Structure 1
Amino acid sequence: MPTSLDQQATLGDYAVLSKQIRNAGLLERRRGYYAVRIGLNLLAMAGAWVAFAYIGDSWWQLFVAAFLALVFAQLAFIGHDAGHKQIFRGGRQNNLVGRLHGGLIGMSYGWWNKGHNRHHANPNHEHDDPDVNIDALAFTENQARLKTGFLRWMAKHQAYLFFPLLLLEGLNLHISSVRAIWNGEVKSRKIDGALLVLHFALYLGAVFLVLSPGIAVVFLVVHQGLWGVYMGCSFAPNHKGMPSPSEEDSKDFLRKQVLTSRNVRGGFWVDLALGGLNYQIEHHLFPHMPRPNLRKAQPIVQQFCLERGIPYAQCGLLRSYRYVLEHLHEVGAPLRAPATAPAAA
């Protein structure tokens, strides 16, 4: 409950903005868009595997592996939208689409959705946001100081290690999904588990039946590595390097979401490549908003923030990665500082 007139006023800002967005019709479902998008993704997926079967045991399969990395990311974007109930109004239909897409890429939809909801509730919070609570990286100086052993060495040089580490993100998504299901951390444990088993059986079975062992292993490395890099590059610009709220921070919902998020400028190709996540501010303010409407909401939200003096972060794609690397380098700086010798008695 608000405890002051100032808080009441700022809480009212979001209601005013929501009314503008709703009156513009930007919260209406876009089923036709998603029908086309899902159809094209599934067609691309089927085409990739047809090409895989046709090419056979050949190093040319590495091009198929690279293409499948792109397809897997696009399928993941649909699962993301389903998790936010952007496709249908009802949760059951969205969950069905989300679980099926999770099964296609070998990831537990239930595990991912649980963690992603925590992220949206507390973006960039070093304790409550799972996206900034990662063993291999430090996103605040406090996290860096707590690292020990090899993880401390990684934190020192994390700006240089960031993109190489993304090569392991696909594997991490698989392992985390299996671990969550095994530990019973997922509501629909049997469904997600069955989909994962089916995925790995068909995926690994096809790879090792068609390809010789050497080519099969390289195919897996290329596919999973590029998929991991793609996923990491899609999510990293959104919050990394933006302010990290403290335990005492009492910002209202609108300011908490805007001040911790960053948009990425670009046209059609950036929208396609990042799955609409380049409109991160609008997405965090209205997570149920269908992806194609985010572009239309962006100028409304930006103007609203300008009128109220709320900083609105936006930059180009390459600049966003530079911000991420600069932040990681800065966080690791105290660990790289030479130790000072004790003063002589």
Structure 2
Amino acid sequence: MTTPTEAPPGPTTVPAQQGSDFARLSRRITEAGLLARKPAYYTVRFTLVGLSLAATWTGFVLLGDSWWQLALAVAMGLVFGQCALVAHDLAHRQVFRKRRASEVGGRIVGNLGIGMSYGWWMNKHTRHHANPNHEELDPDVSPDILVWSQDQAREAKGLPRFMGRHQAGLFFPLLTLEGFNLHVASARALREPHMKRRWLEGVLLYGHFVGYLVALFLVLPVGMALAFLLVHQAVFGVYLGSVFAPNHKGMPMLNGDTKPDFLRKQVLTSRNVRGGWLINTVMGGLNFQIEHHLFPNMPSPHLARAQKIVREYCAELDIPYHETGLIESWREALSHLHEVGVPIRNAPAEG
């Protein structure tokens, strides 16, 4: 049941709106002290995630030649996901105010820790935040493999057209490859001219790759090492996809003709996920996606308090504010993927 401040993700356009609505909201958030840093929280969180990563690698070495390593691969996939969420907070300067400290921490956790280029991810994610769900400007809805709107479906050729017929059913299987995709995209980005400190990025990134593979094939027989790698990277990919996809997929899409103001652009294209402390922990605070997109540098532990202010403010302005449970968020996202594939499924067979 939708409350007055909630709305289903059905609309495909967002109305244009002008004014200083976001400035007034920003003052309320600032006066509530919700942009202040939380060093104690991040000290505890970083310590726990770091200890978890150390524990899984220690367990890997001690366990040795055993098929129980596959259970450890699952655990390590989840820990890598938590490391990625830590890198996300560092990239948004939620932890440190200074860019230098954020970059150092991000490269250590991202490049060296999990094999994901901090510079590549920063470039991609910054563009996403600037224009969420924009068909031409948001790299997260680029029709590289899947299509995200019926307009994209009508224009799709090659792999996106082939995948688009049944993309809702293929979505979760494809997520098992997302961990590998992050590694490959990170390595490719080292050749991009926009990449800053590419030598440092490359040394740390390939340091991770070499260390990871050497550890696997020194400790385990070849077949078991390959099985560990596949399970670990598959869990890592599915976990990250399960955290990031519910936040925007199935929400309104924008194009060149839709120019809402900042407040409406961020609220109407984002979805919050309910669930309490467990969902907060698993999703690293990104279940408060609306608040995160409005205030990207807000520390994660403040997002729940900010939600009350943002939701009430949206109700005052009659701006739809969409929030749902995790399972329902996936149903909405997958339903959207199925619907946008209609033009492909209804098109006459080629040849």
Aligned to 1:190: 199
Aligned-pair CA distance for 1:188: 1.5
Indicate which of 200, 214, 235 corresponds to 1:205.
Answer: 214
Indicate which of 225, 237, 249 corresponds to 1:228.
Answer: 237
Tell me the TM-score normalized by structure 2. Answer: 0.93
Q: Distance between the aligned counterparts of 1:150 and 1:86, measured in 2?
A: 38
Aligned-pair CA distance for 1:338: 5.8
Matched, 1:40 2:48: yes
Alignment of 1:100-179 (within 5 A): 100-102=108-110, 103-179=112-188
Gaps of 5+ in 1: 1-6, 341-345
For CA contacts below 8 A with separation 6 or more, give which structure has more relative contact order: 2
Matched, 1:330 2:350: no
Aligned to 1:93: 101
- Name the SS of the counterpart of 2:214 in structure 1: helix
Gaps of 5+ in 2: 1-15
Q: Distance between the aligned counterparts of 1:219 and 1:250, measured in 2?
A: 47
Aligned-pair CA distance for 1:10: 4.2
Structure 1 residues 197-232: Cα deviation after superposition (integer angstroms, max 9, x where no partner): 110111110000000011000000000001000001
Q: Distance between the aligned counterparts of 1:167 and 1:229, measured in 2?
A: 5
Aligned-pair CA distance for 1:270: 0.1
Give the 3 Å change call, closer, same or farther, for CA 150–27 of structure 1 in structure 2.
closer
Q: Distance between the aligned counterparts of 1:150 and 1:179, measured in 2?
A: 20
Alignment of 1:23-34 (within 5 A): 23-34=31-42
Q: Percent identity?
A: 53
Aligned to 2:91: 83
Aligned to 2:251: 242
Matched, 1:58 2:66: yes
Aligned to 2:189: 180
Aligned to 2:5: none
Q: Distance between the aligned counterparts of 2:142 and 2:287, measured in 1?
A: 22
Segment of structure 1 superposing worse, 11-20 or 276-285? 11-20
- Name the SS of the counterpart of 1:334 in structure 2: helix
Indicate which of 267, 286, 292 corresponds to 1:283.
Answer: 292
Structure 1 residues 37-81: Cα deviation after superposition (integer angstroms, max 9, x where no partner): 011111001111111111101100011100111110111001101
- Name the SS of the counterpart of 1:138 in structure 2: coil
Verify the 8 A CA contact 1:83 1:95 in the aligned structure 2: yes
Aligned-pair CA distance for 1:144: 1.2
Question: Partner amino acid for 2:220?
Answer: L
Q: Distance between the aligned counterparts of 2:121 and 2:95, measured in 1?
A: 18
Aligned-pair CA distance for 1:334: 1.7
Verify the 8 A CA contact 2:147 2:160 in the aligned structure 1: no
Structure 1 residues 213-260: Cα deviation after superposition (integer angstroms, max 9, x where no partner): 110000000000010000011010111111111212121100010000
Question: Partner amino acid for 1:53?
Answer: V
Aligned to 2:226: 217
Aligned-pair CA distance for 1:184: 4.0
Tell me the TM-score normalized by structure 1. Answer: 0.94
Aligned to 2:276: 267
Matched residue count? 334
